[in-house]
Chains A and B, each alone.
Chain A
């Protein structure tokens, strides 16, 4: 069975400081990982996915298969980054079907 672990429920940093949100996974297949974000009073939305190897809003995440990790990083946090962040693992359910398993989330607060 697949599992996603986000060890920090809460993370507080000051504006301009680096931020790293941790995510570890357990999955026997080939993993595809995602970060989703939920800003206050907004719907949950995709932030980035590992296969795209993209930087979104200054955030990056690298899949480390050796450490089974997919940590989200940003060198200089901004107040508007304050949100709930969820790491998610895509698991195949047979054929072309799939489902996403989410971690418990990390609430990031960026203080002025």
Chain B
């Protein structure tokens, strides 16, 4: 079974603080993603990564950055947290088609990190 683990389930931070959200997957997946989930807005892609040290902006990258130093770990960073970043953050991973296997497109999600910025 694929396991995607997000280190913090609940965080409370103050405006202006730097926030790190960590995500680790144990299935040697190439692709990793960070989404935020908000009621009425669904899932919106923040950043994604296809390989170590590679990153690409998603639909709402402003105010966020990411780090992928190791294949299994993908970190989301809020340099200076703001109240409008209060949300549920979901990490996901998937296989790449580069392996020559069937590219199923299936994403495996973590349980989520609920961040509250005061």
* Beta-carbon contact of B42 and A99 below 8 Å: no
| A60, chain B: closest CB distance, angstroms | 18
* Beta-carbon contact of B48 and A99 below 8 Å: yes
Instruction: A98 to B31: give the CA distance in the assembly, Å.
Output: 9
Q: How many residues of A contact B (CB 8 A)?
A: 24
The interface residues of chain B lying within 8 Å CB-to-CB of A97 are 31, 50, 96-97
* Beta-carbon contact of A100 and B107 below 8 Å: yes
Indicate if B89 sits at the interface (CB-CB under 8 A).
no
Question: How many B residues are at the interface, by size bracket?
Answer: 20 to 34
Of the listed stretches A44-52, A61-69, A71-79, chain B binds A44-52
Instruction: A58 to B18: give the CA distance in the assembly, Å.
Output: 46
Given contacts A96-B96, A99-B33, A103-B42, contact A49 B106 (CB under 8 A): yes
* Beta-carbon contact of B45 and A99 below 8 Å: yes
Residues in A lying within 8 Å of B, measured CB to CB: 6, 9, 32, 34, 36, 43-46, 49, 86, 90, 93, 95-105
Of the listed stretches B65-73, B75-83, B108-116, chain A binds B108-116
Residues in B lying within 8 Å of A, measured CB to CB: 31, 33, 35, 40-45, 48, 50, 56, 58-59, 90, 92, 96-98, 103-107, 109-112
| A36, chain B: closest CB distance, angstroms | 8
The interface residues of chain A lying within 8 Å CB-to-CB of B59 are 101
Chain A to chain B contacts (Cβ below 8 Å), 26 pairs: A9-B40, A34-B106, A36-B107, A43-B112, A44-B43, A44-B90, A44-B109, A45-B109, A49-B104, A90-B105, A93-B50, A97-B97, A98-B97, A98-B103, A98-B105, A99-B33, A99-B45, A99-B48, A100-B33, A100-B45, A100-B105, A101-B45, A102-B35, A103-B42, A104-B40, A104-B42
Given contacts A96-B97, A97-B31, contact A46 B106 (CB under 8 A): yes
* Beta-carbon contact of A43 and B104 below 8 Å: no
| B59, chain A: closest CB distance, angstroms | 8
* Beta-carbon contact of B98 and A96 below 8 Å: yes
